[in-house]
Structure formats: structure tokens, C-alpha cells
Chains A and B, each alone.
Chain A
Amino acid sequence: DIVMTQTPLSLSVTPGQPASISCKSSQSLLHSGGKTYLYWYLQRPGQSPHLLMYEVSNRVSGVPDRFSGSGSGTDFTLKISRVEAEDVGVYYCMQSIQLPLTFGGGTKVEIK
């Protein structure tokens, strides 16, 4: 199975400050067809997860442009340029290049 490792485990961020979450996979997520099968989800407190970013860097409609995704191969990063109160929750990366689909352990983002 592909192991997804997220760091840090938690982040406490002052509103307006940036935040960065790392996700590393145990195998390359680059498919032979050229796409990289890495996604980011946010689970707000008490809610279901929802999709933020697909194929590394594509923001889902409605996701603010303060969110950006980058990376390639096995190393990926989700950045929030200016954290707002609505960004609190747990962020998960997920890979789908190989079954079983696997998630990172999550990064909890809190507001200071």
C-alpha cells in the first residue's frame, strides 16, 4: 500500500498569516498518462470532508484562491496564503494512483 505522510500534525496560525502542509507519498503518484493523482480535502469540525484540490494544484470551484497546491512525484504541499477563521479543520491528502486508496493522517489547523 502507498503510505501518505503528512506534516505537521497540527498548526496554530494567526489570522492573516500563511500556513503550509506537507504530504509525502511512499511511491510516485505520477501516472504514465501524465496526471498526478494527489488530492486535498478539508474536514471542518463536525462536518464531512470536502474536496479542495484535485490533481495536485487544481482548485475546486468555490475554493478561495488563497489556497494553492504544488509538488510532484512524491512530495506535495498545500499552502494557505492568509489563514482565515473558516479554514480551521483537518486537512487530508489522498492518493488514487494505486488501490487501496490511501489518505494522509491529517493536519489539524487551528486559529491562534
Chain B
Amino acid sequence: QGQLVQSGAEVKKPGASVKVSCKASGFTFTTYYMHWVRQAPGQGLEWVGWINPKTGDTNYAQKFQGRITMTRDTSINTAYMELTSLISDDTAVYYCARSIFGWSWFDPWGQGTLVTVSS
């Protein structure tokens, strides 16, 4: 089955960076991919990218290239997403979600982390 527990809400100023964590439990962390999906207030879902926790390989949506870094710490079964040069449009709930492959369905999802970018 499995569970994903994310870090708490963040408030950041424009230009700053944010790092969100996603701790996995109940399954073998390195046998799945971890995706990040974001949802701006009142909006739909937007895929950000994935990391393969076993190899550290990543794949990012083009719009985030250069600003996004996904990492993992296999010793504590935790994935991280860092977004730099924040702008107000980055204000969103960021979800981590597990998949079997980089191209398969997401199940389960984390509870979400609200990142607010405001001066």
C-alpha cells in the first residue's frame, strides 16, 4: 500500500527558494518513481517532474528546467523537490505521488504542501 507524508506549508519571498520533502513509508522506496504535481489556487493539476529514487535519475517538465531540482535520501526514504527563483505564479499546493514507472499512474499521493510566494 504505502503512505507519503509531506513537509509543512511554506511562505517565501519572490526570488527565494523552497525545498519540500516527501517521506515514504509502507513500501520499498527504491522500487518506485516519485512524481511532483502542483495545483495553483482554484486551478487544475500540473505535472512538475519525477525522480527515480533507485538511480537518482530525474525528468522535469520543460517549463521548470533550470529552476527545479529533485533529489532523494534513500537512508530515510525521503524525496525532495527544490524550486528556485520563486515568483508569485509558483504559489500552489505541491503534491508528491508514487508510480511504478515514470509513465504510469499515481497512487498514492501525499497530502500536499502549500507554498505561498508573496512579498
Contact partner of B61 among A51, A60, A96, A100, CB < 8 A?
Answer: A100
Say whether, besides A60-B107, A96-B104, A101-B47, A49 and B95 are in contact (CB < 8 Å). Answer: yes
Interface residues on B, range: 20 to 34
Contact partner of A48 among B59, B105, B111, CB < 8 A?
Answer: B111
Chain B, interface SS category: loop
Closest to A104 in B: B44
Count of chain A residues near B, Cβ 8 A: 22
Q: Are A100 and B47 in contact (CB under 8 A)?
A: yes
Residues from chain A with a CB closer than 8 A to the CB of B35 are: 101
- Nearest-neighbour CB distance to chain B for A97, whole angstroms, equals 7
Smallest CB-CB A-B distances: 4 pairs:
A101-B47, A51-B107, A48-B109, A103-B45
A residues within 8 Å of B by Cβ? 37, 39, 41, 48-51, 54-55, 60, 92, 94, 96-97, 99-106
